[in-house]
Structure 1
Amino acid sequence: MTYGDGPGPLALAHRGGAQLAPENTLAAFERSVALGVRYLESDVRLTADGHLVCFHDETLDRVTDGTGPVAARTVAEVRRLRVCGQEPVPTLVEALEAFPDACFSIDLKDESALEPLVQVLRIRRYRERVCVAGAWDGWLRRVREGAPGVATSLGWRSLTTLIACSRAGVPVPRWIGSAPFAHVPIQLGRVPIFVEEVVHLAHSVGVRVVTWTCNDPVAIDRLLSLGVDGVISDRPDLLREVLVARGDWVPMPGATGTVRASDERRSGLSGNL
């Protein structure tokens, strides 16, 4: 499966489904895959000995029983910790190998992880299933140059330009179309984003719009009605329900779909944006 291929809007599980299982863990990824979710969003950080791990924060304190920067620990030290007291921190390669039929949207959290990520993405079976996002334009350009063919989102500068043009009601520069996706927040601080205008401008230069992070079914339905090409959610179960109701749900081939909605709602573990 190649990233972005196939019919229907993309349904992405934010940090693997951060309100269904401990975020960015194999347990979270597995739960979303069992629902039939084809796209898993995660973050990467670099350990002291050069390994990429699926982890959001710069420090370990919020979600693990450890403290201090991720970058100050070896991969062995990080893996001995438990996210929410339950699950180990996986490496990126471990996650990619564990779910070979899933695609991953990867937020590149710091520049030190850039070259190690490029090395991973030079392997075709990984590169074809990945979109790199959440980074500056220059970082993403280096990723595309180092791993030709990999998908990326717009960098922060390009995204800011796209949003500014949508608010001003002016055409977007053609150079914005340098990447196939724009990961657009629902709002910036307390300022709402005019999603319909963003979608129109992005589509005019061949860029697909993926919105984040939305956990409310009514809001998800509205976003899809405005023409977004994908939604990132901590609640992939609810996102799936909306897509099913709209006739837009396309499950991952071979998914069991055995996770019950009642179980999903009881398991809520909140994750920060």
Structure 2
Amino acid sequence: MTEIASHRGGALLWPENSRLAFEQTARLPVEQVELDVHPSRDGRLVVIHDATLERTTDGSGPVAARDWADLDRLILKGSGGQRMLLLDEVLEIFRPTEIVLRIEMKAGPNRVPYPGLPARVVSTLAAARLLDRSVLTSFQLGTVAEAPRHGAPRRHVWLVTPDLQTDVGLSAVIELARGHGVPMLGLRSNMLEPAAVAAVRQSGLGIGGWACNDSATIARMFELGVDVFTTDRPDLALAMRHARVTPDRRT
């Protein structure tokens, strides 16, 4: 069965990466929840997508340039006054559920990886006893390949940009993943078609999709049979999957 991951907690339904989004996602029958982490200046793991604060908070500047005590005062836009969360706090929201934590390890404003981020993420998950219920992802191949060296389960995913896939070709992407011991690729939805899925599967790698937010794209993910896809509309994806597996009893 193709699994559904609630992207940033369902970013088209609730303020992304917010407590509200995660608490709502925890009530849904999705298999995974996707979230993003950046380190603060003092090494805390902050759940936010962008490397800078302007788009989603009332603050400004790089996340990594401020201590958590300062970041904790900021408000998420459109959230009704909610603040940003630490990874530890999100883990506690999902602890009572069976939902898999799909954690994207982000890079800095210049797309340079944060030193030591995989080790910090793995350590936090292990301390919470949720490491076995996690999937670590990154657009930086070196970052995602490093995670198992710190004890992460070998379910890590390399997220591939369309530009890279176009520039070097899917075959080269597959070989890079295999060469770094990465067991699964995440391709953008518009770069996924039957031949690509077949090529990835034939190589022995898993395949997922991202940026799947409308009914046509979601339907195509189910038709392609990808392992998992992330979506800002988990409600829509769940309804469509239910319709596919439930016989129409109308006469």
Range into which the TM-score falls when normalised by the shorter chain: 0.7 to 0.9
CA contact (8 A) 2:3 2:30 kept: no
| Residue 106 (structure 2) pairs with residue 109 (structure 1) | yes
TM-score where L is the length of structure 2 = 0.82
Distance 1:117 1:226 in 2: 32
Q: 1:161 to 1:80 in 2, by over 3 A?
A: same
Q: Equivalent residues in 2 for 1:195-214 (5 A)?
A: 195-214=193-212
SS at match of 1:88: coil
Counterpart of 1:93 in structure 2: which amino acid? D
* 1:126 partner amino acid: L
SS of the residue 2:230 aligns to = strand
Report the TM-score when normalising by structure 1: 0.76
Relative to structure 1, the CA distance from residue 215 to residue 148 in structure 2 (aligned partners, 3 Å threshold; closer, same or farther) is closer
Counterparts of 2:41 and 2:231, CA distance in 1: 31
Q: In the alignment, which residue of structure 2 is the partner of 1:96?
A: 91
CA RMSD across the alignment: 2.7
Deviation at 1:176, TM superposition (A): 2.5
CA contact (8 A) 1:130 1:150 kept: no
**Greater CA deviation, 216-225 or 237-246?**
216-225
Alignment of 1:26-45 (within 5 A): 26-45=19-38
Alignment-derived partner of residue 223 in structure 1: 221
> Which secondary structure state, in structure 2, belongs to the residue aligned with residue 151 of structure 1?
coil
Greater RCO, 1 or 2 (C-alpha within 8 Å, sep 6+): 1
**Structure 1: stretches of 5+ with no match in the other structure:** 1-7, 188-192, 249-273
Structure 2 unpaired stretches of 5+: 108-112, 247-251
> Take 2:173 and 2:50, find their aligned partners in 1: how far apart are those partners?
36
1:182 alignment partner in structure 2:
185
2:59 maps to 1:59: no
Matched residues in 2 for 1:109 and 1:174: separation? 20
Query: What percentage of aligned pairs have identical amino acids?
Result: 31
Deviations 1:45-82 (CA, angstroms, capped at 9, x unpaired): 00111100110111111111111111122212212211
Number of equivalenced pairs: 233
Deviation at 1:209, TM superposition (A): 1.4
